[in-house]
Amino acid sequence: MSLLSFNLPLAALLPFFAAPFAAWATRYNRLASAWVAGITTLLTLALLFPSMAFVFAGETIIQQWSWLPSIGFNIAFRLDGLALLFALLILLIGLLVIIYARYYLSAKDSMGRFYAYMLMFMGSMLGIVLSENLLQLVVFWELTSITSFLLISYWQHRQDARQGARMALAVTGGGGLALLGGVLLLGHIVGSYQLTDVLASGDLIKGHDLYLPTLVLILLGVFTKSAQFPFHFWLPHAMAAPTPVSAYLHSATMVKAGIFLLARFFPALSGTPEWVWLVSSAGLITLLLGAYVALFKHDLKGLLAYSTLSHLGLITLLFGFSSELALVAAIFHIINHATFKGSLFMVAGIIDHESGTRDMRKLNGLFKMMPHTAVLAMIAAAAMAGVPLLNGFLSKEMFFEQAISASGTPLAIWTIPALVTLAAIFSVAYSLRFIHDVFFNGEPIDLPKTPHEPPRFMKIPVDILVVLCLLVGIAPMYLISPILTVAVASSLQTAAPEFSLAIWHGFNIPLLMSFIALVLGVAVYTMRHRLFAWNEKGLHSLDGKAVFDWLLWKTIRLSKKVTDAFDQTTLQPAVTWVIGGALVLGIVTFFQFNSPLIGNRVMMEADVITLLMSLILIVASLLTVILHHKRLVALIAIGVVGLIVALGFVKFSAPDLALTQLSVEVVTIVLLLLALFFLPQHTPQERSYIRFTRDGVISVSAAVSVFFLAMAVLSRDYSPISGFFIENAKPGGGGTNVVNVILVDFRGFDTLGEIAVLALAGLGIFAMLEGLKLFAPTKDVDGLVWSHDPHPPIMQTLTRLLFPLMLMVAVFIFLRGHNLPGGGFIAGLIASVALISQYLANGIDWTNERLRIDMHRVIWIGLLIATLTGVVSMFIGYPFLTTSFTYLTWPVVGKFEVASAIAFDLGVFLVVVGATVMILVELGKLSHASHHIKKEEVN
């Protein structure tokens, strides 16, 4: 299999794999993490490079592997012109930001953590643009919300960074849930979650009754991620992040994710009145609001944040026009905006880094101190304003032309061009303010530092982006036309329309609009002080954050009221509500059906042994409840319950479940005994007869309800799914032990999830118990001092003799599991009991000296083996976790079966051993430490 057959998933996942190495590398050299991030980005580009020629030839590359084919979830990646364009933006600008951040971050900042976050975010964005499966796209979409939260809150000591990160996560995370709903509806309409099928079903989607809710949900995801009105307020507050983060997330990547989705779904969702009104309205409002507010921001990054909002609104408005040429202009402006806005953010970071402030009321006359930086800023700001011979001018001209073409009615023929020209006027004004107020306009005022040029390599990323602004503005047909053409064609799913990127189109209305914007923009800037005063009295108090904070406060208050009403800090009321609610729902539902409660199926005869075991089970259960205040007695009684349940499994021919039940009982009893060591021997008696009556009524009602429910099911004929597993266990899974074949083959994905949860539970308990200091009681309830030997010699001798035998039993149970009762889970519990017996009998110190096994490593190795078992099947063309088996014949041994499921079962075995032993040993360490403390007190 060649590299080209899976280079796309490697490109998307490589940054995730490299992130831990970036964090680890900083231990040896502070700058090593920057090198790891830079090399990873270059390697990712190299992975995509062989496929670029096919994309420029008009081909679409799709690489996919079955994952959960029954629900349409495949691991599928797609590279076409649109995906290639965004991937290049993500990687190339990401590389420049990586170089820039190496000089921007101070010695106090954690370089490893920063670059690890950057790589994870880069991988998340690549996953979005390269995804062919929509469910997979949503997963990466949510990963961008999480990783951007980490990046925005990078300076954790700053309150504004923490608040901005929480706001961004709340808004974009909520939009992600809406997007998931829209994608599910889209898959329901089309019958597939593959992007290829969705893009080919535009007429079906737009003609379906669910089109409008689907469109609204998807647009909620788009508008929240790309900060469109009314969800625009999170973006300016995210500027509390380090400037490299702002340059990357808020100019070229994260905020462009929603824009990418508009381009991606354009052939499937656009062209309807609903699309035009929703997308155009949000874009136009955001365009005007961002342009207006940007002028009045005194903070450099605040100005750039609102100007970003405005330009995102411009791009969204173009998509809202729903024409092919408008899409060309939108994609062209995506490229231009990434170059000039990325360079301007980096310039703002340089100014802040070298002068100690971003306040434009203090930053004056920096041209003579930072001439190189000033020239870069002037070119980039001019491109943002749409000055001729720069890239921003070309896309702005195309925007004006489409605004005129979209004005179909007599009223709109002047309204839309007038409004977009007004936005362009403010764009010129705030761009001019960025240049004049910072680099001219007198002398600096009380700067924390004396400004000077930054290190040379800190300016190189800005140099590259500014040169691109110039080159694209002068020779667009040679530099941009090829990638723009294939991106537009893949977005439209047809040939790109004819378009011109010529610098001069003659004297026309768009040129007149540009001239008006430039002249009036200068005029507005000269009147800025009057406008500042007017703004302070007018719209200054309007802030989306205030609305967000109010809604958040109301939600928290409501949740507190609900919590106070239902949660009284004890377990009994919570259980009462759950069981009571289930009873009410069950009774109400029952009366809605007219069928008899008990069916007509013939019942089995009950023998004396079964009745006796049932009686013991009932008595033991009652004793557990009645004697629960005597902890040790209750523990013995509940152990009897577990034993009887295991015997019930034996009677009904479920030896695997019986073995599992017995093993779990042993582990549970040891766990509870270790925990009881630190608890009082008696539970306080409850004297409330009202509570006794209430609990008794609820308990009896629940028991009666469950009894009748079980009778209602078992007294009727039904077709259980067990028949399928029994028939297919041998031919499909290669094993005669149906239970084990279900766990490692038919339901292997469930088992993988379960052992992952077990691993997390073990690690969580370890984290809670590590370093905890508890003081065990030194006297019993009668006041007698305990003077027992914690490690009796007889127990030590027996456990040491039995230990190899117990491990052999565990290995035997493991190896026979595919055809006879056993398997990885049961064998893991038996091996755990063998290891725990050594700790209990010989002590933690003695055992640790001889068993030098890190259970953390055992857990992750087990998870890795189980996961790789599934991944290997994908790479040979089968769904995830597909198992295979064959038969081999050896001399003497004869014919025997070899199944790939044994590797998965080995992973289960290791996770069970690692998690179980970790929990029990950590609890044992507490008693071990308490024992030492007690001896020291006696001495």
Any residues with CB less than 8 A from the CB of 875 and at least 6 apart, and which?
Answer: 1, 6, 65
User: Is-above-0.75 flag for pTM?
Assistant: yes
Please name every residue paired with 897 in a beta bridge, in sequence order, or none if there are none: 887
State how many domains the chain has.
2
Asked, for residue 30, whether it belongs to a domain, the answer is no
Distance of alpha carbon 166 from alpha carbon 234, whole angstroms: 9
Tell me which range, 788-792, 795-799, 911-915, is most confidently predicted by mean pLDDT.
911-915
Residue in this structure with the two tokens 């330009």, named with its chain if needed: 311
| Contacts with 169 (C-beta within 8 Å, 6 or more apart), sequence order | 145, 146, 148, 149
Q: Do 930 and 675 form a contact (C-beta atoms < 8 A)?
A: no
601: DSSP letter: P
Examine the pLDDT at 725 and tell me if it is beyond 90: no
Domain-ending residue, one of 526, 548, 583: 526
Q: Which residues contact 60 (CB under 8 A, 6 or more apart)?
A: 78, 79, 80, 196, 490
Is residue 568 pLDDT above 90, yes or no?
A: no
Helices (H), 627-747: 631-651, 655-676, 689-714, 722-733, 738-741
Q: Which residue has the higher pLDDT, 936 or 914?
A: 914
- Judged by average pLDDT, the poorest of 188-202, 256-270, 599-613 is 599-613
- Amino acid 784 reads L
β-pairing, 894-899 vs 885-890, is antiparallel
Per-residue pLDDT of 907-918, as tens digits, reads: 999 999 888 888
Q: Which residue has the tokens 């013995």?
A: 636
Q: How far apart are CA 348 and CA 395, in angstroms?
A: 24
Q: What is the pLDDT of residues 53-67, one digit of tens each?
A: 999 998 999 998 877
Distance CA 318, CA 406 (A): 9
With 80 as the cut, is the pLDDT of residue 773 above it?
no
Asked if residue 539 belongs to a domain, the reply is no
pLDDT grade, residue 671 (50/70/90)? confident
Higher pLDDT, 387 or 602: 387
Which helix (H) or strand (E) covers residue 74, if one does? strand 73-79
d(CA 171, CA 826): 45
Look at residue 402 and tell me if it is in a domain: yes
Residue 330 backbone phi and psi in degrees, to 5: -65, -45
- The pair of structure tokens assigned to 5 is 């057959």
Peptide bond into 230 cis (omega under 30): yes
Is the four-CA dihedral 244, 246, 251, 253 of positive or negative sign?
positive
**Average pLDDT of span 126-145:** 95
pLDDT at 485 over 80: yes
Asked if the structure places residue 355 within a domain, the reply is yes
Query: If you average pLDDT over each of 39-43, 414-418, 456-460, 761-765, which comes out highest?
Result: 39-43
How is residue 277 written in tokens?
A: 């009104």
148 with 168: CB under 8 angstroms?
Answer: yes
For 70-119, the pLDDT digits (tens) are: 777 788 999 999 999 999 999 999 999 999 999 999 888 889 999 999 99
pLDDT at 932 over 60: no
pLDDT score of 142 more than 90: yes
Q: Which residue has the tokens 């949000």?
A: 282
Q: What is the pLDDT of residues 205-235, one digit of tens each?
A: 999 999 999 999 999 999 999 999 989 889 9
Residue 451 forms part of a structural domain = yes
Say what the pLDDT of residue 816 is: 83
Instruction: Sort strands 61-68 and 885-890 into parallel, antiparallel or unpaired.
Output: unpaired
- pLDDT given for residue 534 in this prediction: 78
- DSSP, collapsed to helix, strand or coil, labels residue 896 as strand
Which pLDDT value is given to residue 67? Answer: 78
Summary mean pLDDT of the chain = 86
- Helix pair 32-56, 81-88: axis angle to 10 deg: 160
Q: Residue 934's pLDDT is what?
A: 46
Instruction: Point out the least confidently predicted range of 10-19, 80-89, 860-869.
Output: 860-869
Question: By residue range, what is the domain housing residue 423?
Answer: 280-526
Count of residues making up the chain: 939
Domain annotation covers residue 181? no
Phi, psi at 823, each rounded to 5°: 125, 175
Rounded Cα–Cα distance for residues 675 and 926 (Å): 9
Structure confidence at residue 3 (pLDDT): 57
Inside any domain, residue 358: yes
**224 occurs within a structural domain:** no
Per the model's pLDDT, the better-predicted residue between 900 and 224 turns out to be: 224
On whether the CB atoms of residues 261 and 269 are closer than 8 A, the answer is no
User: By C-alpha distance, which of 697, 710, 703 is closest to 597?
Assistant: 710
Last residue of a domain, one of 464, 491, 526: 526
Rounded to an integer, what distance in angstroms lies between the CA atom of residue 229 and that of residue 802?
71
| Cα angle 243, 244, 246; round to 5 | 60
Residues 574-594 pLDDT 10s: 888 888 888 888 888 777 777
Cα–Cα dist 152/155, whole Å: 8
29 band by pLDDT with thresholds 50, 70 and 90? confident
Helix (H/G/I), strand (E/B), else coil: 107: coil
Question: Left, alpha or beta for 198 (phi > 0: left; psi -120 to 50: alpha)?
Answer: alpha
Q: Which residue has the tokens 């490109």?
A: 11
Which of 461, 496, 526 is at the close of a domain? 526
